[in-house]
Amino acid sequence: MSSLFRAKCRCGQLVLTFTQPPAAQLVCHCQDCRSVGGKPFASVAFFKAEEGCEKGDFSTQDLTGGSGKPKQYRSCKNCGEFVYATVDVLQGLLGVEAERVEQPFEFKPMAHVWTCEKVDGINIPEGTVQFPKGPPFRPGR
């Protein structure tokens, strides 16, 4: 249990810790991620819920995913910063905003998803795996 991965919000009230590295890493271009995260795309590290624990209070924004299944975006109740999302189609995984994960974590996305909703002017590096919608597989190890 030497590797401990930690993510937290700006004010430090909401903290997630994981004993294992993320099961998958994706860049998501969907409109919901963009509006909730306030960025042109979201960098997401999927950690297994069973390998982590959570401290602090969050507020939840309920939305419907591209699959038609519910998803929940969770933000710190105190500072309001978006920290992670859960998606019903990806049960057991927490999609943590990669920029909130502390060093020595390094974001290395395996694919870009929901590129059909990509913002104009955002260039995806050549040779990158891309999916116009959600990933056609369950991210995980």
Binding-site ranges for Zn ion (CB under 5 A) = 9, 11, 13, 28, 30, 33, 76, 78-79
With respect to Zn ion, which residue has the nearer C-beta, 3 or 64? 64
CB hemisphere CA count around 98 (13 angstroms) = 21
Residues in the chain: 141
Cβ distance to Zn ion smaller for residue 3 or 132:
132
Q: How far apart are CA 141 and CA 76, in angstroms?
A: 28
Report the C-alpha gap between 111 and 26 in whole angstroms: 5
What minimum distance in Å lies between the beta carbon of 86 and Zn ion?
Answer: 12
Least gap, CB of 2 to Zn ion (angstroms): 27
User: Which of 78, 86 has the CB closer to Zn ion?
Assistant: 78
Least Å distance between CB 138 and Zn ion? 16
Tell me which residue of 134, 117, 129 sits closest to 30, measured CA to CA: 117
